[in-house]
């Protein structure tokens, strides 16, 4: 797959080869091009927080879902009507296969012979598992721990974090492109380093009592961590032949979405519930005598003084513990990307 870029190349410092009606990027520039593409995830999150946070405080969270989600339908129509399929295989080496279609059996056979692809997919899956778990509960954590509103958390904390993550995503692609010729493995070890570095930053953000320090930890953590999004696409495209790139991307996203996005939020919620029940039991409250929902600020006043005291001690602390545990799991993702690095020299299709 050739990567089309809709922005003028001087803005991003890349010199694409010109063909037909638009710019396309050769493999050595693919990391940076995909870094620009991958910014859509984090920039979209930023806009969603800026708009959705205000709507949530002004109306409710249901209205926020509609306001943030509906524009996507319009964009989908515009995209369909204006974006054309790029020439297939244009930037590939002359020796590359030009056959357009490949059977699923052939595609899977090629993928099974690419350990770097599966190691990268493992790293991306764990990163998504942690990232979507944390992002799903980040606003709730800030509300419980620092006593701000959901809208304030979205606008003043989550939006800057998302912007920082977008910049970090682009920076990873830019840096990998600069060192690609001499060190093609940079697209694996740079995100691995970022994922490892994010762990102490997130732990600090989730344990400090200062909202300002928490915001700083989350912003820097997002900057160094999200480069893995660039890596997952660049590696997925780079280790297979032209005919298999679409299948490789589909398989990678299927695994990442099913496990990472699907189970990450469920896991962190379950861990938080376990800590809540354990903390309440340690304070002498039976499991069936107090639920997390009863500790919500809107209804906690209906409880006895003793149960209100228990809520005050375990309501936010249980989620804090779950967030710290989830952040530490980024170590597994970093390890997967380091192992990917060791295989890229053998599995990368070309370096041109």
Q: Is residue 61 part of a domain?
A: yes
Predicted confidence pLDDT, tens digits, the chain (352 residues)? 444 433 333 334 444 444 444 456 655 566 556 656 666 676 777 677 667 666 776 777 677 777 777 777 888 888 888 877 666 555 555 555 555 567 778 888 889 999 999 999 999 999 999 999 998 899 889 998 998 888 888 888 988 998 898 888 888 878 877 777 778 788 899 999 999 999 999 999 999 999 999 999 999 999 999 888 888 888 888 888 878 888 888 899 899 989 988 899 999 999 999 999 999 998 888 878 888 888 887 788 888 888 888 888 898 899 999 999 999 999 999 999 999 999 988 888 765 5
Q: What are phi and psi of 90, to 5 degrees?
A: -60, -45
Task: Kindly state whether residue 296 falls inside one of the protein's structural domains.
Answer: yes
- In a domain? residue 99: no
- For the four alpha carbons of 77, 79, 84 and 86, in that order, the dihedral sign comes to negative
Say if 280 falls within a structural domain: yes
Q: Is residue 60 in some structural domain?
A: yes
97 in a structural domain: no
112: Cβ contacts below 8 Å, ≥ 6 apart: none
Distances (CA, A) of 200 to 163, 225, 352: 20, 12, 37
Query: What is this structure's pTM?
Result: 0.78
* Domain around 242: 9-92+104-347
- CA distances, 40 to each of 162, 167, 269, 283 (Å): 10, 11, 27, 46
Give dist(CA 266, CA 263) in Å, integer.
5
**Could you tell me if residue 1 is inside a domain?**
no
Residue 340 lies in a domain: yes
Question: Is the CB of residue 328 less than 8 Å from the CB of residue 200?
Answer: no
Instruction: Give residue for tokens 């279609």.
Output: 101
Asked if 255 and 125 count as a contact pair (C-beta separation under 8 A), the reply is yes
CATH of the domain at 288: 1.20.1250.20
Provide the phi-psi class of 147: left if phi over 0, else alpha when psi is between -120 and 50, else beta.
left
Helix (H) or strand (E) holding 23: strand 22-24
Q: Which of 124, 81, 70, 73 is nearest to 334 (CA)?
A: 124
Please list the residues that pair with 24 across neighbouring strands.
Answer: 4, 17
Query: Count of domains in the chain?
Result: 1
């Amino acid at each position: 797959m050739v990567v089309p870029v809709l922005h003028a190349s001087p803005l991003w410092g890349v010199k694409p080869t010109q063909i037909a009606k638009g710019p396309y990027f050769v493999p050595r520039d693919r990391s940076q091009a995909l870094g620009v593409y991958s910014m859509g995830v984090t920039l979209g999150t930023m806009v969603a927080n800026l708009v959705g946070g205000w709507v949530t405080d002004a109306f409710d969270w249901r209205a926020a879902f509609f306001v943030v989600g509906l524009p996507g339908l319009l964009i989908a129509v515009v995209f369909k009507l204006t974006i054309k399929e790029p020439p297939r295989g244009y930037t590939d080496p002359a020796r590359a296969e030009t056959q357009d279609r490949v059977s699923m059996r052939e595609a899977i056979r090629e993928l099974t012979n690419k350990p770097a692809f599966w190691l990268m997919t493992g790293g991306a899956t764990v990163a998504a598992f942690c990232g979507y778990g944390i992002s799903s509960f980040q606003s709730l954590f800030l509300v419980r721990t620092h006593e701000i509103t959901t809208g304030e958390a979205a606008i003043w904390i989550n939006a800057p974090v998302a912007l920082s993550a977008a910049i970090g995503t682009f920076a990873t692609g830019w840096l990998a492109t600069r060192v690609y010729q001499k060190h093609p493995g940079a697209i694996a070890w740079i995100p691995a380093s970022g994922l490892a570095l994010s762990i102490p930053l997130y732990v600090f953000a989730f344990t400090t009592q200062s909202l300002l320090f928490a915001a700083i930890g989350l912003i820097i953590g997002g900057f160094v961590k999200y480069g893995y999004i660039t890596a997952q696409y660049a590696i997925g495209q780079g280790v297979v032949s032209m005919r298999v790139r679409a299948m490789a991307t589909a398989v990678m996203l299927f695994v990442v979405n099913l496990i990472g996005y699907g189970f990450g939020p469920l896991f962190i919620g379950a861990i938080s519930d376990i800590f809540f029940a354990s903390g309440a039991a340690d304070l002498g409250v039976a499991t069936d005598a107090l639920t997390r929902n009863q500790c919500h600020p809107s209804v906690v006043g209906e409880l006895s003084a003793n149960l209100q005291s228990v809520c005050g001690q375990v309501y936010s602390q249980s989620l804090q513990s779950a967030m710290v545990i989830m952040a530490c799991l980024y170590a597994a993702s970093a390890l997967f990307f380091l192992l990917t690095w060791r295989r890229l020299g053998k599995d990368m299709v070309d370096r041109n």
